[in-house]
Amino acid sequence: MAQSKHLSNLEPWQDPKAQPYVSIKNITKTFGGRVAVNNVSLSIFRGELFSLLGRSGCGKTTLLRMLAGFESPTSGKIFIDGIDMTDTPAYKRPVSMVFQSYALFPHMTVEQNIAFGLIQEGLPKDEIRDRVNEYLELVQMSGYERRTPAQLSGGERQRVALARSLVKQPKLVLLDEPLAALDKKLRERTQLELVNIQEKVGVTFIMVSHDQEEAMTMSSRIGLMNEGRILQIGGPTEIYEYPNSKYVANFIGSVNLFDGIIVEEKFDHVIVKSTIIEKNLYITPSASVPVGAQISVAIRPEKVMLTDTQPDGEYNWTNGTVKDIVYLGDVSIYHVRLRSGAIVFATVTNSVRAAERPIQWDDEVFLYWKAENGIILAM
Ligand code: ATP
């Protein structure tokens, strides 16, 4: 998976001495009294592919547009490579933007589209030709020079748009939902191509997305936004495995949430009494939580195991009736209704054909999970 390449690189955000390439400091933007971006501070490092992720209207595009210089902040500062760019106009920033709708000139050929910015800069003809060829090759579009955008597929158009942005050798590329217009299959392929291109040229990418799978596949880190604020910043694995709130846990993938109260706290575990299941939960948390605290335990569906025999021990299991089996090809998601009425989801890998499955609709089943797979979240 593409993300592993990023994770194997050095992680500058772990190094307190590393200088961020982009620094967003206490940025707020209001439109007619309504807050779109609310006191956001963020550091992004050279060579990162950083995604701003969140629901429609959470403020991610507004933040990106302020980085590009298309919008000015109501308050706060933006630094790029250590230089205060807050009041610098868009055309003077070392930034290039790739839009969702490609924004190619329809009457120009692929070659003319890519060369456009370089001609405006007044570069010599030979250099323009060499640079255009180099970037056509980079996006694997050599041979398409004479076509117009109407003669290209959506994925090809987006690759030309990317080449047009990169050919000017910007230090920072901002991408506004760059793959949203592509169908699912093509989008998945283009995600990996984009990551490969970004790694080859080593330019910093900041991308806006509302698609969590896309952000997880492509990003070095993700900033998850809601209502103008950043709720959590972290690598894909960190955000998935250690969400810091119920909102983040629900937004990234699906999750089972067991609301409850801490009834025992020891140095290596806590015990949670939940209103949803009869057995208590025994969890090995990363932070200490006091007895009496109202919390929620999050357990991912793929960490919940299904069986038709009663598990041993007094913790971390429950039972119920299979109410639905959602078949997704490689896996199936079992919806199990507990006596309390709550539904728990369990993801099971389909190693046998559907008809041979040992557990079927309306079967009584047991669900269990490991102590280390529970995440304690504030209510
Ligand atoms: P989407 O995924 O739908 O593009 P988003 O997270 O990118 O959403 P923004 O476009 O940043 O959200 O918008 C954040 C909020 O600011 C929204 O409530 C939006 O209506 C508002 N907003 C954005 N631009 C303007 C504007 N020019 N004038 C007034 N309100 C605006």
Binding site membership of 58 for ligand 1 (Cβ less than 6 Å): yes
State the Cα–Cα distance between residues 220 and 210, nearest whole angstrom.
Answer: 16
Q: Is the pLDDT of residue 87 over 60?
A: yes
Secondary structure of residue 239 in the 3-state scheme: helix
Binding site membership of 61 for ligand 1 (Cβ less than 6 Å): yes
pTM of the model: 0.85
Q: Is the pLDDT of residue 1 over 50?
A: no
Provide the CATH number for the domain formed by 19-246 in this structure. Answer: 3.40.50.300
* E strand map for 180-316: 204-209, 221-226, 229-234, 256-266, 269-274, 281-283, 294-299, 305-307
Q: How confident is the model at residue 88 (pLDDT cuts 50, 70, 90)?
A: very high
Residue nearest to ligand 1 atom 14, measured at CA:
59
2 versus 170: the higher-pLDDT residue is 170
Binding site membership of 53 for ligand 1 (Cβ less than 6 Å): no
Query: 278 phi and psi, to 5 degrees?
Result: -75, -40
Question: What per-residue confidence (pLDDT) applies to 197?
Answer: 86
First-to-last alpha carbon distance for the chain, in angstroms, is 33
Give the distance (Å) from ligand 1 centre to CA of residue 135.
Answer: 33
Question: What per-residue confidence (pLDDT) applies to 259?
Answer: 93
State the Cα–Cα distance between residues 372 and 282, nearest whole angstrom.
Answer: 9
- Residues 64, 44: contact at Cβ < 8 Å? no
Question: What per-residue confidence (pLDDT) applies to 8?
Answer: 40
Residue spans of the domains in the chain: they are 19-246, 254-378
What does each C-alpha distance from 187 to 30, 154, 322, 379 come to in angstroms? Answer: 33, 10, 34, 36
Question: What's the sign of the alpha-carbon dihedral 317, 250, 27, 89?
Answer: positive
Q: What is the mean pLDDT of residues 6-23?
A: 77
Question: What per-residue confidence (pLDDT) applies to 10?
Answer: 65
Q: Which residue has the tokens 């109260």?
A: 261
Regarding beta strands 95-98 and 172-176, do their DSSP bridges make them parallel or antiparallel, or are they unpaired?
A: parallel
Give the distance (Å) from ligand 1 centre to CA of residue 63.
Answer: 10
Q: Which ligand 1 atom is at minimum distance from the Cα of 59?
A: 11
Question: What per-residue confidence (pLDDT) applies to 2?
Answer: 43
Give the distance (Å) from ligand 1 centre to CA of residue 85.
Answer: 22
Q: Is the pLDDT of residue 114 over 60?
A: yes
Q: Which residue has the tokens 């208590």?
A: 280
Q: Is the pLDDT of residue 232 over 60?
A: yes
Q: What is the pLDDT of residues 266-317, one digit of tens each?
A: 999 999 999 999 999 999 977 788 999 999 999 999 999 999 999 999 999 9
Binding site membership of 97 for ligand 1 (Cβ less than 6 Å): no
Q: Read out DSSP for 319-373?
A: EEEEEEEEE-SSEEEEEEEETTS-EEEEEEE--S-GGG-SS-TT-EEEEE--GGG
Q: Which ligand 1 atom is at minimum distance from the Cα of 228?
A: 14
Residue 279: how many CA atoms within 13 Å on its side-chain side?
19
CATH domain 254-378 topology = OB fold (Dihydrolipoamide Acetyltransferase, E2P) (2.40.50)
Q: How confident is the model at residue 12 (pLDDT cuts 50, 70, 90)?
A: confident
Q: Is the pLDDT of residue 9 over 60?
A: no
Where residue 56 falls (left for φ over 0; alpha for ψ -120 to 50; beta otherwise) is beta
The reply to whether domains 19-246 and 254-378 share a CATH topology is no
Binding site membership of 56 for ligand 1 (Cβ less than 6 Å): yes
State the Cα–Cα distance between residues 317 and 367, nearest whole angstrom.
Answer: 5
188 versus 102: the higher-pLDDT residue is 188
Return all residues near 213 (Cβ < 8 A) that are at least 6 apart: none
Lookup: tokens for 288: 């200490």
The alpha carbons of the chain give a radius of gyration, in whole angstroms, of 25
Give the distance (Å) from ligand 1 centre to CA of residue 49.
Answer: 23
- Residues 308, 359: contact at Cβ < 8 Å? yes
Q: Which of 290, 302, 284, 281 has the alpha carbon at shortest distance from 344?
A: 302
